[in-house]
């Protein structure tokens, strides 16, 4: 199964209770299902464009496909959210949403590209540079990478500390001028602009400093760990 690619069987079209939006729920049960169990293998994709109509006239936020690898899109209110910072650092802590917002604010506008081929141009993000968060945690010399956790309970991602310190890697709480929606991984999601979308973990709730990169959800299923756009996964997209 590819990150965000429709399975060939068992796709069910549901009508959403909200307006014209439809979403396509897909349950993939393949060979991996027997190895990793049903919950790890189930995933869903919601789309505003389930008819396959051209997406030309849509706003950036409407041109995303919405993904989850569990059987749901988890919802957590900002006031109920917190993020633990742990592992190989001298200042482990827990951030509330307010405490995260108190860190220096940063913004970037970058294309967002999924490894399955879709790309959304010029997406506006606002949040905190991961490098600022890293500095506040004071990683120990033996910390070489970060593992990110999601409150969906399943998805993980990882970056080397060097990758994590880049200016185009953010913990985003705003997308296109509004709070990051639950569907898009709010209240806070990771955005790794120069890499394929699967690195941009949704529903972030933990950051752990570790001594080496640990493969994440899609890397364990064959996708590149260093997922540079246009320079990995056999693809030749324009870099971001």
Ligand X SMILES: Nc1nc2c(c(=O)[nH]1)N[C@H]1C(S)=C(S)[C@@H](COP(=O)(O)O)O[C@H]1N2
* 193 phi, psi to nearest 5 deg: -55, -40
Contact call for residue 197 and Mo ion (CB under 5 A)? yes
Q: Which does 65 bind (CB under 5 to 8 A by kind): ligand X, Mo ion, none?
A: ligand X
Pinpoint the alpha helices (H) of the chain: 31-36, 38-41, 97-101, 130-137, 161-164
Q: How many CA atoms lie within 13 A of 35 on its CB side?
A: 5
Q: Could you give the CA distance from residue 24 to residue 66 in angstroms, rounded to a whole number?
A: 10
Minimum distance, C-beta of residue 159 to ligand X, in the bound complex (Å)? 13
Residue nearest to ligand X (CB): 197
Minimum distance, C-beta of residue 200 to Mo ion, in the bound complex (Å)? 8
Among 81, 97, 203, 228, binds ligand X (CB under 6 A): 203
Minimum distance, C-beta of residue 35 to Mo ion, in the bound complex (Å)? 22
**SS3 call for 197:** helix
Q: Is residue 190 within 8 Å of residue 216, measured between CB atoms?
A: no
**Which residues lie across from 83 on neighbouring strands?**
95
**Which residue's CB is nearer to ligand X, number 39 or number 90?**
39
Q: Is residue 28 within 8 Å of residue 5, measured between CB atoms?
A: no
Among 145, 197, 207, 224, binds ligand X (CB under 6 A): 197
β-pairing verdict for 169-175 and 178-179: antiparallel
Contact call for residue 148 and ligand X (CB under 6 A)? no
Q: Is residue 179 within 8 Å of residue 116, measured between CB atoms?
A: no
Contact call for residue 3 and ligand X (CB under 6 A)? yes
**228: which DSSP letter?**
B
Contact call for residue 198 and ligand X (CB under 6 A)? yes
Q: Which does 146 bind (CB under 5 to 8 A by kind): Mo ion, ligand X, none?
A: none
Contact call for residue 184 and ligand X (CB under 6 A)? yes
Among 148, 195, 202, 233, binds ligand X (CB under 6 A): 202
By CB under 5 A, name the binding residues for Mo ion: 3-4, 114, 197-198
By CB under 6 A, name the binding residues for ligand X: 3-4, 64-69, 114, 150, 152, 155, 184-185, 197-198, 200-203
């Amino acid at each position: 199964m590819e990150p965000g690619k429709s399975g060939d069987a068992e796709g069910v079209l549901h009508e959403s209770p909200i307006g014209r939006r439809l979403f396509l729920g897909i349950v993939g049960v393949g060979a991996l299902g027997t190895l990793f169990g049903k919950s790890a293998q189930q995933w869903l994709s919601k789309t505003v464009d389930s008819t396959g109509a051209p997406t030309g006239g849509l706003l950036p936020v409407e041109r995303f496909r919405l993904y989850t690898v569990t059987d749901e899109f988890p919802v957590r209110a900002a006031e109920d959210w917190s993020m633990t910072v742990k592992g190989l650092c001298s200042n482990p802590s827990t951030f509330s949403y307010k405490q995260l917002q108190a860190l220096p604010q940063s913004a970037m506008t970058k294309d967002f590209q999924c490894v399955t081929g879709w790309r959304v141009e010029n997406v506006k993000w606002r949040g905190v540079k991961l490098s600022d968060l890293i500095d506040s945690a004071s990683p120990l010399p033996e910390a070489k990478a970060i593992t990110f956790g999601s409150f969906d309970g399943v998805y993980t991602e990882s970056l080397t500390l060097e990758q994590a310190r880049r200016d185009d890697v953010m913990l985003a709480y705003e997308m296109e001028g509004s709070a990051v929606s639950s569907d898009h991984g709010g209240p806070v999601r990771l955005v790794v602009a120069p890499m394929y979308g699967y690195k941009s973990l949704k529903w972030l709730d933990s950051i752990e400093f570790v001594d080496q990169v640990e493969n994440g959800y899609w890397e364990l299923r064959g996708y590149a760990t260093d997922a540079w756009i246009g320079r990995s996964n056999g693809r030749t997209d324009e870099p971001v």
